[in-house]
Amino acid sequence: MMVADVLRPRGAGLPRLRDTRAVWPVLALIAILVFDWVMVPNFFQIRVVEGRLFGNVIDILYRATPTALVSLGMALVIGTKGIDLSVGSTIAIVGAVISWRIHAGDPHIVILFEALAVAVVCGIWNGSLVAGLGIQPIIATLILMVSGRGIGLLINLLYGGTDPSFDSPLLQGLSTGHLWLIPTRLVVGAVLFVALWLVIRRTALGLFIEAVGGNAAAADLAGVNARRIIFVAYVLCGLLAGCAGVILTADTHTSDPVSVAMYIELDAILAVVIGGASLGGGRIYLGLTVIGALVIQALTTSILISGLRPEYNLIVKSVVVMIVLLLQSRNVRHHVTMLFQGRRR
């Protein structure tokens, strides 16, 4: 309660922080980092290697960037009471398109826009199925989820596809390069986050998405064009997945549609949920979603450096995630508090 009181702003300012829910994902992240610090004393050490910052903490931020971008898109879609299972497939298609157009000899700056355009097309496809035809989101996006990686393989076939690796100073610079000391993708991620925040919170789009997700019928009667809002959410989700796709593809500079970003949709959904949003829609927490993505990546990184046998990876991950989600649940928290109060008596 103390923490909650501190976080509660007086008057205007940040109305979203009123809820105690902001506390838990942040605490979870801190707990994981402290655990790492105890385990690896130089965990927080940051050096400069090859002209860029280098260290575990940078690694977490670096690896979390694509997941965070996908999660932000997912947060919008979940805000409309939907879900997008096809983000991983969108990334696979984006990767294949990048590799294909590089082999075709397009200028790389053009390829960047081609890749993002393809991602937007994926978003339009999902948005049309959900908002236009009224198909349930989980089914509608399942179509692209299932077919997307196959489409990626097909695109790889367009140029033979035996060796889909490539070199692109521009795209690799965006992904693995650095600006002064900072990895470029962190800069890219931060810019995209701010841009998205402006679009969602400095226009009425966020309010409309939340209204539609909370009660579509009421939002419609209040004059909000629910279908258009849902459509826009899926398109933005596709675009953000495309940005993540560019980073991930340029990271390994190869197109690997079968395995790239495998299960990223699940991580993204998890990040949104850890960030405190309900799959029932109606709320978007952009900042907390990024925290959620960081929690997942910090966890993955700690497991990797812990020297734990790989057989235990998934179990440890799921146990920690479960604890975080339980802490999030008001119900469980209530019962735990009751337990302690009972003891005190």
Partner 1 sequence: MSFKTILAGTALAFSTLAAGSAWAETIGFSQVGSEGDWRPAFSANMQNEAATYGIDLKFADAQGKQEEQLRAVRAFIAQGVDAIIIAPVVVTGWDQVLQEAKDANIPVFLVDRDVDVADKSLYVTRISADFNLEGKIAGAWLAQASLGNCKIVELQGTTGSAPAIERNAGFQAIIDQFPNMEIVQTQSGDFTTEGGKKVMEAFIKSTNNLEGICASFAHNDNMQLGAIQAMKEAGLNPGTDIKMVSVDYVPAMADALAAGEANASVELRSAVAEYIYPVILDYLKAPSDLPKWIVIPSDLHVAN
Partner 2 sequence: MTTGTPTAPLIEMREIRKAYPGVLALDDVSLDFYPGEVHALLGENGAGKSTMIKILTGALRRDAGAVLLAGKPTDFASTAAAQAMGISPVYQEVNLIPAMSVLKNLTLEKAPTRWGMVSWRGARAMAEAKLARLGLTLDIDKPVGSYSLAIQQLVAIARALDDTTRMLVLDEPTASLDASEVAALFDILRDLRARGIAIVFITHFLNQVYEISDRITVLRNGQRVGTGLVGEISRQDLITMMIGRELSEVEAVARVRDTAGGAPVMTAGGVGRKRTLAPFDLTLRAGEAVGLAGLLGSGRTELAKLLFGAIRRDSGTLTLGGTDIRATSPRHSLAHGVAFCPEDRKTEGLVGELTIRENIVLSMQAKQGWLRRVRYRDQLRIADDMIRALGIATPDGEKQVSQLSGGNQQKVVLARALASSPKVLILDEPTRGIDVGAHADILTLIRKLCDRGLALLVASSELDEIVATSDRVAVLRDRAMIGELVGAGITRDTIIGMIAGDDGG
- Which parts of this chain interact with partner 1 (CB under 8 A)? 40, 42, 49-50, 54-56, 59, 63, 149-150, 153-154, 157, 162-163, 165, 176, 248, 251-254, 256, 258-262, 300-301, 304-305, 307, 309-311, 313
User: What is the nearest approach in angstroms of partner 2 to the Cβ of residue 86?
Assistant: 25
Nearest CA-CA partner of 94 in 256, 263, 271: 256
Q: Shortest distance, CB of residue 335 to partner 2, whole angstroms?
A: 12
Q: Give dist(CA 330, CA 341) in Å, integer.
A: 16
DSSP 329: -
Kindly state the smallest distance separating residue 29's Cβ from partner 1, in Å.
18
Of the candidate residues 225, 252, 254, 306, the single one contacting partner 2 (CB under 8 A): 225
Shortest Cβ distance from residue 202 to partner 2 (Å)? 6
Q: Which helix (H) or strand (E) holds 119?
A: helix 108-127
Judged by CB under 8 A, which of 31, 214, 287, 303 binds partner 2?
A: 214
- Closest by CA to 114, choosing from 130, 132, 96, is 96
* Residues written for the chain: 345
Amino acid at 149: R
Q: Which is nearer to partner 1, 194 or 258 (CB)?
A: 258
CB of 72 to partner 2, least distance (A): 18
234-293: contacts with partner 2 (CB under 8 A): 282-283
Figure out which of the listed residues 28, 118, 174, 205 binds partner 2, where binding follows CB under 8 A: 205
Nearest approach, Cβ of residue 140 and partner 2 (Å): 21
Helix (H/G/I), strand (E/B), else coil: 183: strand
- Toward partner 1, which CB reaches closer, 80 or 175? 175
Please report whether residue 23 would count as binding partner 2 according to CB under 8 A. Answer: no
Our CB check for partner 1 shows the closer of 5 and 167 to be 167
CB 77 within 8 A of CB 69: no
Q: Please identify, among the stretches 49-57, 186-194, 208-216, 313-321, the one whose residues bind partner 2 according to the rule CB under 8 A.
A: 208-216
> Does 203 help bind partner 2 (rule: CB under 8 A)?
yes
Among 49, 138, 191, 222, indicate the residue that binds partner 2 (CB under 8 A): 222
d(CA 173, CA 109): 12
- Any long-range contacts for 27-36 (C-beta under 8 Å, 24+ apart)? 27/327, 28/274, 28/295, 28/320, 28/323, 28/324, 28/327, 29/291, 29/294, 29/295, 29/298, 32/295, 32/298, 32/299, 32/302, 32/320, 33/57, 33/298, 35/302, 36/298, 36/301, 36/302, 36/305
- For residues 304 and 298, what is the distance between their CA atoms, to the nearest angstrom? 10
In the list partner 2, partner 1, none, the entry touching 214 (Cβ below 5 to 8 angstroms by class) is: partner 2
Burial of 143 (0-12, 13-18, 19+ CB in 10 A): middle
Rank residues 40 and 190 by Cβ distance to partner 1 and give the closer one: 40
Q: What is the DSSP string of 139-158?
A: HHHHHHHHHHHHHHHHHHHT
Residues that bind partner 2 (CB under 8 A): 12, 15, 18, 202-205, 207-208, 210-211, 213-215, 217-225, 282-283
